[in-house]
Amino acid sequence: MGPQDADGEVPNGLTTTLATIGSSFVTLLKAIVPPLIFTAIVASIANLRTVTNAARLAGQTLLWFAITAAISVAVGIGLGLIFQPGNHASVSLDDAAEPGKTGTWIDFLTGLIPGNVLGLGAGTQVETAADGAVTATTSVNFNVLQILVVALVIGIAALKSGSKADPFLAFNRSALAIIQKVLWWIIRLAPIGTLGLIGNAIATYGWSSLSSLAWFAAAIYVGLALVLFVVYPVLLRTNGLKITSYFKGAWPAIQLAFVSRSSIGTLPVTQRVTERNLGVPSEYASFAVPLAATTKMDGCASIYPAISAIFVAEIFNVDLSITDYLLIAFVSVVGSAATAGLTGAVVMLTLTLSTLGLPLAGVGLLLAIDPILDMGRTAVNVAGQALVPTIVAKREGILDVEQYESASAEDLFADDDAPVEGDATAVGATPSGTTDEPGAETVKETAAAGAR
């Protein structure tokens, strides 16, 4: 049986087909993420020995994560006070239910510790049918934060091992090149996958469920729009970057994030546009973008929990003090890392509510329209994940400004040549186009060096 639509009815064959096409595309992208992250991070760390300011880059990245998160949560709190969504909602407390997953600060520490070297886990879902038959479905999933930690440790160990690690690093570069080729076979299915995702979204998430929470949903989308189309452009202009170039280059990732509702599923495309379209060096981007995909969530971790916390407080007639608003800001800036191992705006919201001492049952009031809100949240998440590495690269003088200003969204799907020997070989590290002319590799190496 296919998924149900917003009215609880079983969709027709067309909807089921669109859902299958869209979900299959996202599943393929997610399947390539673990080996992509591991090999790209190891390769990028190996090449950081040629970058003199590697520690500064990492520090600047984390700083800008915090800056953009703080601005986003300020926007969320401001809109929450203006819209007062809880006072305009026609929902009953009888509809409230305890969330299935909650976030706690200990999740950050446990999420950092890999359960195994691959960062993989398994879960079993048990369902009981009306006739009493019990079915169990076991699925394997991966923890991106743990894979990131494992790759960082192995990459640093390889650097410390010196020449003894050269065969391993050579193998890693070759593996990454192969993974890249498979990835772009998948990426070529993007038009079909996006069509399925959009069609399924239109058919599945009807707007009827918004009636009782329309004011709340409006506040969320106004906040998302302000961050995406006002805050981010201001930051771009402040750092001397063209606004149109950013949106033209990052749009494929933002669009896919909106319809797929998955930052991790969009990660390969986000990394691709950051390097290929926005001109961020692969050595830095292959480190910063996966890190951002797990901890940089301006939509899910800043705007949404801020407005939602005010909504829940108003529903339960709880007055928030200045200290409470400061706690919301603190949780939004720092807390996304605490839920990176669990992911999801619902988990982030439970962390915020528990920190403030608000009833977690309030989360259940918002679940009915969460898929509709999640589309916009994820788009803003991914936009920020591409924005920060671009700004940091520009401020550190390593951004290929000419590539940033000239690349178009169509460049994303252009063929790559074989990776240049010794290059980071991260996603999109090589220029587009093919040539057999003598001296072409020398030109590429010179261009790559100039970009850095």
Instruction: Tell the burial category of 26 from Cβ atoms under 10 Å away from its Cβ (0-12, 13-18, 19+).
Output: buried
pLDDT band at 270 (very low <50, low <70, confident <90, very high): very high
Task: Work out the mean pLDDT of the chain and round it to a whole number.
Answer: 76
Structure-token match 């951002």, residue found: 292
Q: How far apart (Å, rounded) are the C-alpha atoms in residues 303 and 306?
A: 5
DSSP-derived 3-state class of residue 127: strand
pLDDT band at 345 (very low <50, low <70, confident <90, very high): confident
Contact 143, 34 (CB under 8 A): no
Q: How far apart (Å, rounded) are the C-alpha atoms in residues 130 and 109?
A: 41
Asked whether the whole model's pTM tops 0.95, one would answer no
pLDDT at position 267 over 70: yes
Instruction: Tell the burial category of 53 from Cβ atoms under 10 Å away from its Cβ (0-12, 13-18, 19+).
Output: middle
Average pLDDT over residues 78-90: 84
- 13-47 and 243-260 are packed helices; what angle lies between their axes, rounded to 10 degrees? 130
Task: Write down the pLDDT at residue 333.
Answer: 80
Q: How far apart (Å, rounded) are the C-alpha atoms in residues 6 and 4?
A: 7
Q: pLDDT tens-digit profile of 48-74?
A: 666 667 778 888 998 999 999 999 999
Contact 194, 28 (CB under 8 A): no
Q: pLDDT tens-digit profile of 431-442?
A: 333 333 333 333
**Range in 77-86, 364-373, 394-403 the model is least confident about:** 364-373
Task: Write down the pLDDT at residue 408.
Answer: 65
Task: Write down the pLDDT at residue 38.
Answer: 85
